[in-house]
């Protein structure tokens, strides 16, 4: 398998954690130049990163890719057998993706205070904080997002929380995780997981390169 990958993308990070945890043989193809972007565009009109290639199959969208990995039955399972636990894992991932990451995405174009739209920032930050509050409620203090093993919820949440923590100081919140006790404790613990720590280190390097640090 091959996957078009961007080291800084939280969606690519989600898939990389699953790949590392499952020990899958996936070649990561960096989106680094126009030729690679054109190659990807020829494969799918969505132009989505990540996009997985498995033989003749082209699979975009990070959540679909992760589900595909699971259904292939390779490596450690990242979804439990119990349907209630599976639903909880999907709920946690969905809260992170839709109610935290989506509004947070509006903030990336607002990093420069000279061109910042204060009304847009206030709206987006309000939505992000609301989503973080929901996430804080649903996290129960377990070693991982749910229970004592890595799951698809962790694959989704860890890269999102990386950005939440890093973006906060750019908008005047020096310790953005502090109000969310369960989230902060969970996120700090994820650095002890080998697969999450690996993806977080990759994202940290990519962010520093992006910021010119």
157/201 same-domain check = yes
Q: Tell me which of 51, 72, 93 is where a domain ends.
A: 72
How buried is 148 (Cβ within 10 angstroms: 0-12 exposed, 13-18 middle, 19+ buried)? exposed
Q: Which of 183, 192, 144, 146 is nearest to 161 (CA)?
A: 183
What are the tens digits of pLDDT across the range 80-123? 999 999 999 999 999 999 999 999 999 988 888 899 999 999 99
- What DSSP character marks residue 146? S
Number of domains in the chain: 2
What are the tens digits of pLDDT across the range 182-193? 999 999 999 999
Q: Tell me which of 10, 41, 72 is where a domain ends.
A: 72
88/67 same-domain check = no
Say yes or no to pLDDT of 25 above 90: yes
Say yes or no to pLDDT of 133 above 90: yes
pTM beyond 0.85: yes
SS3 for 84? helix
CA distance 116 to 99: 22
In this prediction, what percent of the chain has a pLDDT beyond 70?
Answer: 100
Residues 6+ apart with CB under 8 A from 8: 203, 206, 207, 210
What are the tens digits of pLDDT across the range 12-22? 999 999 999 99
Range(s) of the domain holding residue 106: 83-211
- 63: domain CATH number? 3.40.30.10
115/199 same-domain check = yes
| CB-CB neighbours of 211 under 10 Å | 10
3-state helix, strand, coil in the chain (%, to 5): 60, 10, 30
Say yes or no to pLDDT of 149 above 70: yes
143/174 same-domain check = yes
Query: With bands split at pLDDT 50, 70 and 90, how would you rate the model's confidence at 55?
Result: very high
- 118: domain CATH number? 1.20.1050.10
Look at residue 78 and tell me if it is in a domain. Answer: no
43/115 same-domain check = no
Q: What's the token pair of residue 161?
A: 């929380």
């Amino acid at each position: 398998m091959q996957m078009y990958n961007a080291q800084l993308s939280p969606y690519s990070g989600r898939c990389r954690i699953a790949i590392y945890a499952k020990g899958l043989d996936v070649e990561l193809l960096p989106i680094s130049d126009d030729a690679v972007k054109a190659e990807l565009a020829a494969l799918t009109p969505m132009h989505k990163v990540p996009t997985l290639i498995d033989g003749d199959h082209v699979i975009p969208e990070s959540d679909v890719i992760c589900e595909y990995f699971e259904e292939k039955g390779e490596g450690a399972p990242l979804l439990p057998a119990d349907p209630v636990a599976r639903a909880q894992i999907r709920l946690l991932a969905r809260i992170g993706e839709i109610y935290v990451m989506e509004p947070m995405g509006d903030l990336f174009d607002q990093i420069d205070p000279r061109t910042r739209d204060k009304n847009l920032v206030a709206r987006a930050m309000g939505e992000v904080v609301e989503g973080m509050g929901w996430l804080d409620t649903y996290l129960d203090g377990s070693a991982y997002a749910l229970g004592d093993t890595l799951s698809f919820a962790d694959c989704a949440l860890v890269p999102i929380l990386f950005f939440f923590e890093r973006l906060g100081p750019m908008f005047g919140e020096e310790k953005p995780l502090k109000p969310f006790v369960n989230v902060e404790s969970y996120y700090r613990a994820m650095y002890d997981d080998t697969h999450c720590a690996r993806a977080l280190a990759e994202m940290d390097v990519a962010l520093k390169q992006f910021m010119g640090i």
